[in-house]
Amino acid sequence: MLKIEHIGIAVKNIEQSNDLFTKLFGKAPYKMEKVESENVSTSFFMIGESKIELLEATNPDSAIAKFIEKKGEGIHHIAYEVENIIEEMKRLKSEGFTLLSEEPKRGADNKLICFLHPKGTNGVLIELCQEIKL
Residues binding ligand CMX (CB under 6 A): 8, 35, 38, 40, 42, 55, 63-64, 66-67, 70, 76-77, 100, 107-108, 115, 117-119, 123, 125
Nearer to ligand CMX, 23 or 102 (CB): 102
Closest to ligand CMX by CB, 23 or 61: 61
Question: CB 28 → ligand CMX: shortest distance, Å?
Answer: 20
As a whole number of angstroms, the distance between CA 125 and CA 98 comes to 11
CB of 108 to ligand CMX, least distance (A): 5
Give CA–CA dist 41/54, Å, rounded.
Answer: 8
| φ/ψ (deg, to 5) at 77 | -155, 160
CB nearer to ligand CMX: pick between 26 and 36: 36
Q: Which of residues 19 and 69 has its CB atom nearest to ligand CMX in the complex?
A: 69
Integer CA distances (angstroms), 36 to 33, 57, 59, 78, in order: 9, 10, 10, 20
In the chain, the N- to C-terminal Cα span, in Å, equals 21
